[in-house]
Structure 1
């Protein structure tokens, strides 16, 4: 079924700005012409069950983390753009005592909702991929968690069984390699136009080492770039206007086989328009990480010229990629892009100052899980 991409009336936005509201349209939305459209894609990555801004080890709140804080950015970010999507880049299920409590103490019965899925379903995510820590509690636990998601998970390089096919397209994959979402997007004139957004996902092949006990004999992995080169052409054949890569893999410019951090080379695959990265718990673009790497522009936020972003970890940042799209006949193409990693806190006078409040919907939805985790700890 065709869906509208979280549209906001351009007229309403401009009226709000004129009335003094603290809303600034992204330049792409402000200047889009009738044959153009602005699409904003928001990313979270490496949440590691930090849905709430609470450090269970220190037994106190922590203003540097929490999806409930990142979530408070969403409405504001959506108001800056006419069209938007929300996606996640993996490493959701392990990383704090709440994750251990659910996996080891409470358990999940068929039909139970994991706390992370409660939060993500509330926020309207449209797609996610798997991170390496999704496998820490075993495949059966993972399957039960994924069953509670109101959105698809994709992964193009995780194979069910022990055999790799001669052609990656013949692999018996554990999940769908990609999805193509049929959407409606508002162009610069305010008219709704159809667009097909393809999203493909990747996990580090090293899960077969890190979680050998849980995975041996059940699944295998394929090289990320090899899988991308195999599946992206099929996505284009099936009519994807744009292709977004969810690469739970960091940034490294030294190429090799079965790379753990392959996002730089994913960006070089023909047909991929934007790359969402993670895994390394760093920030891109920015002034600190990934400096002086050939082909990596830490100011513009590009890898081999393609827009890319890494949104920190534990909900510390929201990754944003803004695409200016232009209609070429009946198809859309990317003509310009910007990237940003927007933080939930700032460091002032040697203290962490939150930039945003909590999203009360998530706080309320996870209250029982939070109290149970405190008791567990």
Structure 2
């Protein structure tokens, strides 16, 4: 299943009522508790399009805003993680730019070797397992981005971002960061027994970064079509023993196409054989449960699937937490 958890404005008066509601909602999905002896459940949680919104504060309006901020999302993450025996947390990109704090770090304070960016500090505290890049990670230039990534206690993956010309075979591209991660997790089943499961994560960025950030990327980077890259790398991951493959797609959902170099290619990415689940973002919308993507062939807004695969898009600025239970 895939689902969304939304932040709502909170006051002292409504806090206990909100906690009671959240507890009731969580109680509807005790997947670990319901797992049979020969079954196990894996809970995958997503943030996306944080845009440096660490705290519930609107810098543009210069006032608190209780519907945004990674600090608010953290309370949801903790509750959902505590409910599950097996869980992992991912970020789907666009964390580095988007408010005055981000501009201050980039243009005034700067990033020296060894510095840890405030948004990365927050993500380290929350214990992310893996992340991918969004288009706004490139707004301040490659040197700045790499210094920021160096402070993360978790890896980043991106399979369609190269340092130069594209090779005839996508798996021969000179990639800027590693294309995927295969992480072995000890998964506990309904009987309490543990078994190793190899979970693969592969990341994608919109190819349009070469236009949007041409001044920062021209002559230093290149991008490949998202689906093309996936079709090449997923079999490699399978050959390396990945039992489950999760796509971290900083790309939205579009019913058009498929077409080369699509900006919003997540629907077609879900159709790639071997991919088991898709995390999406970039469009600052939510999926499932809204009408934003109603009527698109291959999209089930009730079940939360793209071409039959569980998928989720978790809003923006920390407004939602995305959840996929396998």
Q: Which residue of 2 aligns with 1:149?
A: 152
Q: Deviations over 1:51-87 (max 9, x none)?
A: 1111111110011210000001012101332211100
The residue matched to 1:36 in structure 2 has which SS?
Answer: coil
Q: Which residue of 2 aligns with 1:5?
A: none
Q: Which residue of 1 aligns with 2:37?
A: 34
In the alignment, the residues of structure 1 paired with residue 28 and residue 185 of structure 2 have an alpha-carbon distance, to the nearest angstrom, of 22
Q: Which residue of 2 aligns with 1:112?
A: 115
Q: 1:266 aligns with which of 269, 287, 301?
A: 269
Distance 1:315 1:21, change over 3 A: closer
In the TM superposition, what are the counterparts of 1:46-65 in structure 2 within 5 Å? 46-65=49-68
Counterpart check, 1:308 vs 2:311: yes
Give the paired residue count.
Answer: 303
Equivalent pair of 1:282/1:311 in contact (CA under 8 Å) = yes
Q: 1:217 aligns with which of 216, 219, 243?
A: 219
Q: List alignment gaps of at least 5 residues for structure 1.
A: 1-19, 324-377
Q: Deviations over 1:280-326 (max 9, x none)?
A: 00000012311111110001000000000000000000000000xxx
Equivalent pair of 2:26/2:80 in contact (CA under 8 Å) = no
The residue matched to 2:27 in structure 1 has which SS?
Answer: coil
Q: Which residue of 2 aligns with 1:95?
A: 98
Equivalent pair of 1:25/1:79 in contact (CA under 8 Å) = no
Equivalent pair of 1:26/1:81 in contact (CA under 8 Å) = no
Distance 1:216 1:64, change over 3 A: same
In the alignment, the residues of structure 2 paired with residue 75 and residue 57 of structure 1 have an alpha-carbon distance, to the nearest angstrom, of 29
In the alignment, the residues of structure 1 paired with residue 59 and residue 318 of structure 2 have an alpha-carbon distance, to the nearest angstrom, of 16
Q: Deviations over 1:350-371 (max 9, x none)?
A: xxxxxxxxxxxxxxxxxxxxxx
The residue matched to 1:149 in structure 2 has which SS?
Answer: coil
Q: 2:283 aligns with which of 274, 280, 283?
A: 280
Higher relative contact order (CA 8 A, sep 6+): 2
Report the TM-score, using the length of structure 1 for normalisation: 0.79
Q: 2:322 aligns with which of 315, 319, 322?
A: 319
Please state how far the C-alpha of 1:29 moved relative to its aligned partner.
2.1
Please state how far the C-alpha of 1:21 moved relative to its aligned partner.
9.5
The residue matched to 2:137 in structure 1 has which SS?
Answer: helix
Bigger Rg, structure 1 or 2:
1
Q: Deviations over 1:23-42 (max 9, x none)?
A: 62625323211221011100
Distance 1:224 1:22, change over 3 A: closer
Q: 1:193 aligns with which of 195, 198, 220?
A: 195
The residue matched to 1:134 in structure 2 has which SS?
Answer: helix
Q: Which residue of 1 aligns with 2:236?
A: 234
Report the TM-score, using the length of structure 2 for normalisation: 0.91
The residue matched to 2:41 in structure 1 has which SS?
Answer: strand
The residue matched to 1:140 in structure 2 has which SS?
Answer: helix
In the alignment, the residues of structure 2 paired with residue 46 and residue 21 of structure 1 have an alpha-carbon distance, to the nearest angstrom, of 28
Equivalent pair of 2:278/2:309 in contact (CA under 8 Å) = yes
The residue matched to 2:122 in structure 1 has which SS?
Answer: helix
Distance 1:21 1:47, change over 3 A: closer
Q: Which residue of 1 aligns with 2:185?
A: 183
The residue matched to 1:201 in structure 2 has which SS?
Answer: strand
Q: Which residue of 1 aligns with 2:247?
A: 245
Please state how far the C-alpha of 1:124 moved relative to its aligned partner.
0.2
Q: Structure 1 or 2: larger strand share?
A: 1
In the alignment, the residues of structure 2 paired with residue 27 and residue 106 of structure 1 have an alpha-carbon distance, to the nearest angstrom, of 45
The residue matched to 1:72 in structure 2 has which SS?
Answer: helix
- 4+ residue runs over 3 A deviation: 20-23
Q: Deviations over 1:140-177 (max 9, x none)?
A: 0001000000000000000012x100000000000000
Q: Which residue of 2 aligns with 1:345?
A: none
